[in-house]
């Protein structure tokens, strides 16, 4: 997916040009260089800022670390990928995002918090703790107790790490804590964990503070269990069924605040067709509301892009946004609440990827597992591209061996690999990946080609079909499959409108490609991207429109017919 990377670079260049015209504050400079500022202006939306531009926001100075045009909601403390606090310095690298923010004890007047330590290229010096977005304290370790709270009140906490240079990490996951009533009711139970089978979900949780008689487990308003210990099993469930439970402690005075958990029983069918799932990227390109698109088109699934590496072998959205509590998680929750599902895409054309950063298959699989645990995807898509993964045979093997571990631990999650192609089918590296997957016995559910930026020329439909038929033949040769078996393991991921090479895939061409996929039994269809599924005839290759005349979400509506 080269477009988003190119657009970020071109936006930075545009911001620098606008600065010269007097439209942006600050002075262009190299990332990490000392700020050359006179008097920093207040941050404002809809303003072009160049790398190195200085602003103030709520009395705090910030320096832009990437050129961009600001938008409402992109205030400096909200987007650490664009701004850092202070006036520059020799260490521009922020710490990694603190992980797994959780509560260890809650009383009617206090909340005790803990989190996983951050890492830094020089060293983490401490953590800032925020309640409702306002800093309420600091910690040198990975615990903090917030006192003076009000009983029967819900509070939202986040944490950011800091280093000696004043760099702040991204924001942790948001933790919601409800204090119990000041009437002697127990404290809120600790985090709930689950173990599932085809017909049962076993629950286990941390003990509540205060006087506890027992615990009740609810599904909605219906009580499912009552126990004196800190575990129970809900049995008699159906296969492949999702449930959300609430655990509450109780005594003679009343019940505590609840602790929620969701889980899905095993036994989900494997193989088979995946719903059409265009890529949705929340980092750039005026990301649309997924539910708006769902309501307008009938689409039921999205491929969420992209998981990259953050400070080593740590997964994060775009390498910088947390797995939970941020804009990506909010979009995913909205999709699921509307009855949809998500695929999660790892990698892409460019960026700091997990493949080169995770030194063993086990570490790579562990990073993927963190994403699966946080997101609950139906499909994990490994977009293996460029010289750092696709053309690096060591990394290719590392990823393939890791996928065996991922599938073993998550048999109900489908695995797709996505890679570039020639007009006649897979290139050397694509054929090598297919053959190596057979040699290593990697249980890949779907091999998806990207038939764009491949010299498709004026006949994108026929060249896409030719590439797909080449993929079918490569799979038959490697696996010994029939035509039908090969098609059932194939997918197509296109690029709507104009590609980077100015190849044109218009609405009728994409309809033809969809119909080919349907009629031949392919099991995956996607395109880059929903962000671009808007009109801008003559607009060229853009991040938020297709470059051609169309109605909003027209390609998504076509894809919903897969």
Give me the active site residues, please: 385
Q: What is the DSSP letter of 255?
A: B
Q: Which residues pair with residue 425 across a beta bridge?
A: 422
> Are the beta carbons of 137 and 146 closer than 8 angstroms?
yes
List all residues 6 or more positions away from 73 whose beta carbon is below 8 Å from its beta carbon: none
The candidate with the shortest Cα–Cα distance to 259, out of 228, 229, 226, 217, is 217
d(CA 346, CA 458): 31
Q: Which residues pair with residue 222 across a beta bridge?
A: 219
d(CA 406, CA 403): 5
CA 468 vs. chain centroid, Å, equals: 28
CA 219 vs. chain centroid, Å, equals: 28
Which tokens is 142 given?
A: 């990975």
> Are the beta carbons of 470 and 424 closer than 8 angstroms?
yes
d(CA 457, CA 1): 19
Which tokens is 353 given?
A: 């990827």
In 117-241, beta strands by DSSP E: 124-131, 134-139, 143-146, 154-163, 175-178, 192-196, 201-205, 214-219, 222-227, 231-234
d(CA 230, CA 203): 8
Q: Dihedrals φ, ψ of 127, to 5°?
A: -140, 140
Q: Strand order in 111-116's β-sheet? A: 99-106, 111-116, 143-146
d(CA 497, CA 138): 50
Q: How many other β-carbons are positioned within 10 Å of the β-carbon of residue 146?
A: 17
d(CA 412, CA 378): 8
List all residues 6 or more positions away from 121 whose beta carbon is below 8 Å from its beta carbon: 91, 93, 311
Cis omega (within 30 of 0) on the bond before 306? yes
Torsional sign, CA 457, 461, 463, 467: positive
């Amino acid at each position: 997916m080269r477009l988003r990377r190119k657009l970020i670079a071109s936006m930075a260049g545009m911001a620098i040009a606008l600065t010269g015209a007097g439209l942006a504050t600050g002075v262009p400079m190299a990332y990490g260089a000392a700020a050359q500022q006179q008097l920093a202006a207040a941050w404002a939306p809809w303003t072009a800022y160049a790398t190195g531009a200085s602003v103030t926001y709520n009395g705090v100075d910030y320096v832009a670390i990437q050129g961009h045009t600001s938008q409402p909601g992109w205030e400096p403390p909200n987007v650490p990928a664009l701004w850092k606090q202070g006036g520059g310095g020799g260490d521009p690298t922020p710490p990694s995002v603190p992980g797994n923010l959780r509560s260890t004890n809650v009383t009617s007047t206090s909340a005790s918090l803990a989190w996983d330590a951050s890492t830094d290229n020089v060293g983490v010096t401490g953590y800032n703790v925020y309640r409702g977005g306002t800093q309420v304290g600091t910690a040198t370790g990975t615990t903090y107790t917030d006192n003076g709270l009000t009983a029967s009140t819900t509070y939202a906490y986040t944490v950011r790490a800091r280093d000696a240079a004043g760099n702040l990490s991204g924001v942790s996951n948001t933790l919601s804590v409800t204090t119990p009533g000041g009437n002697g009711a127990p404290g809120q139970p600790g985090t709930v964990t689950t173990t599932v089978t085809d017909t049962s979900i076993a629950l286990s949780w941390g003990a509540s503070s205060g006087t506890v008689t027992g615990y009740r487990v609810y599904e909605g308003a219906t009580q499912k269990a009552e126990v004196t210990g800190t575990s129970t099993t809900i049995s008699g469930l159906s296969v492949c069924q999702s449930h959300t439970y609430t655990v509450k402690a109780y005594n003679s005075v009343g019940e505590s605040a609840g602790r929620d958990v969701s889980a899905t029983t095993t036994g989900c069918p494997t193989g088979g067709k995946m719903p059409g799932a265009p890529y949705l990227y929340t980092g750039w390109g005026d990301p649309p509301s997924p539910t708006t698109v769902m309501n307008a088109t009938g689409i039921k699934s999205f491929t969420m892009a992209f998981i990259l590496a953050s400070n080593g072998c740590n997964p994060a959205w775009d390498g910088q946004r947390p797995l939970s509590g941020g804009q990506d998680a909010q979009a995913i929750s909205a999709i699921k609440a509307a009855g949809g599902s998500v695929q999660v895409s790892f990698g892409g054309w460019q960026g700091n990827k997990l493949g080169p950063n995770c030194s063993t298959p086990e570490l790579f699989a562990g990073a993927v597992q963190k994403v699966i645990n946080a997101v609950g995807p139906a499909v994990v898509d490994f977009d293996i591209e460029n010289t750092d993964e696709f053309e690096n045979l060591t990394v290719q093997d590392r990823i393939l061996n890791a996928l065996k571990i991922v599938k073993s631990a998550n048999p109900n999650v489908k695995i797709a690999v996505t890679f570039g192609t020639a007009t006649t089918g897979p290139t050397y590296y694509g054929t090598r990946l297919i053959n190596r997957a057979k040699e290593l016995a990697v249980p890949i559910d779907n091999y998806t080609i990207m038939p764009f930026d491949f010299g498709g020329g004026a006949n994108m439909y026929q060249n896409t079909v030719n590439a797909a038929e080449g993929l079918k033949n490569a799979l038959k040769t490697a696996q010994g499959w029939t035509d039908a078996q090969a098609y059932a393991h194939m997918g197509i991921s296109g690029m709507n409108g104009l590609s980077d090479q100015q190849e044109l895939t218009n609405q009728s061409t994409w309809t033809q490609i969809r119909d080919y996929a349907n009629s031949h039994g392919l099991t995956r269809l996607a395109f880059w991207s929903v962000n671009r599924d808007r009109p801008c005839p003559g607009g060229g290759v853009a991040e938020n429109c297709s470059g051609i005349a169309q109605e909003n979400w027209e390609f998504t509506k076509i894809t919903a017919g897969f």
